[in-house]
Amino acid sequence: MQQDLFSLADDSGLEAVAGGRGRRLGSGTVLLPGLALAEAPNLVAEIGSIARVAPFRNMLTPGGQAMSVAMTNCGPLGWVSDRAGYRYQANDPDSGQPWPAMPAAFGQLASAAAALAGFADFVPDACLINRYLPGARMSLHQDRDERDFSQPIVSVSLGLSANFQLAGETRSGPRLRLPLVHGDVLVWGGPDRLRFHGVQSIAAGEHPLTGACRYNLTFRRAT
């Protein structure tokens, strides 16, 4: 059973970090509400440019099921899934071409967010771009296809809101249900690097910047 530990609507009990710009959700987990807000129009425009070169696609799980979340990537390495499994690769499997370059604004935001959360010198070499239409969801998983778990995960939410689920290092423990809204940035790393996480089915809606869609940028150091 899912257990709501607390709602971020009432975050008064959480430790403020980064000069009040962040809220600590765990020893290595920091929410930076609205950190990407000012940059969001530019980020969404860049997503459009990337998707013209490397279109969103519903990848297959190793079991052969199409994911409800559509994905593309930018940067030196992209995360892919198919019947052969999960991995990072330099080329888009659909085109054989390298993934589009990571826009400077993406890397800068990711490094700044990581630093605010206490992870200095984070330089991502992979940016997975997730597109959730209403009804899309991502089941609880760990990010463990990267080589160096000392590097954090930086996750940027754009467009429609999501209910993010954050568990511990086991699937079965208590889960925090964390509303993520447009512009929020969530960082987890260090002792929290292997926390299970997922996204509940996105509710129908319209966002002025993205329309009926949520985007998530997940920045990682894959190598």
Q: Compute the least distance from the CB of residue 128 to ligand SIN, in Å.
A: 6
Cα separation, 15 vs 168, in Å, equals: 19
- Cα–Cα distance for residue pair 121/67, rounded to 1 Å: 33
CA-nearest of 209, 223, 219 to 108 is 219
Does position 29 bind ligand SIN by CB under 6 A? no
Residues 191-210 that bind ligand SIN (CB under 6 A): 197, 199
Q: Which is nearer to ligand SIN, 116 or 138 (CB)?
A: 138
Among 30, 31, 102, 138, which residue interacts with ligand SIN (rule: CB under 6 A)?
A: 138
Indicate which of Fe ion, ligand SIN, none lies near residue 219 (CB less than 5 to 8 Å, by partner kind).
none
Sign of the C-alpha dihedral computed for residues 112, 114, 118 and 119 taken in this order: negative
Q: What mask of x and - would describe binding to ligand SIN in positions 146 to 185, judged by CB under 6 A?
A: ---------x------x-x---------------------
Instruction: Give the integer Cα–Cα distance in Å for 113 and 95.
Output: 32
199 binding partner (options Fe ion, ligand SIN, none; Cβ < 5 to 8 Å by kind): ligand SIN
The residues that touch Fe ion, with contacts defined as CB under 5 A, are 143
Give CA torsion, residues 116, 121, 125, 129, to 10 deg. Answer: 0
Measured CA to CA in angstroms, residue 83 lies from 60, 62, 64, 140 at distances of: 7, 4, 6, 20
| Residue 138: contacted member of Fe ion, ligand SIN, none (CB under 5 to 8 Å, by partner type) | ligand SIN
Q: How many residues bind ligand SIN (CB under 6 A)?
A: 9
CB of 184 to ligand SIN, least distance (A): 9
Please list, in sequence order, all residues whose beta carbon lies within 8 angstroms of the beta carbon of residue 172, skipping any fewer than 6 positions away. none
- Interface residues toward ligand SIN, by CB under 6 A: 130, 138, 155, 162, 164, 197, 199, 216, 218
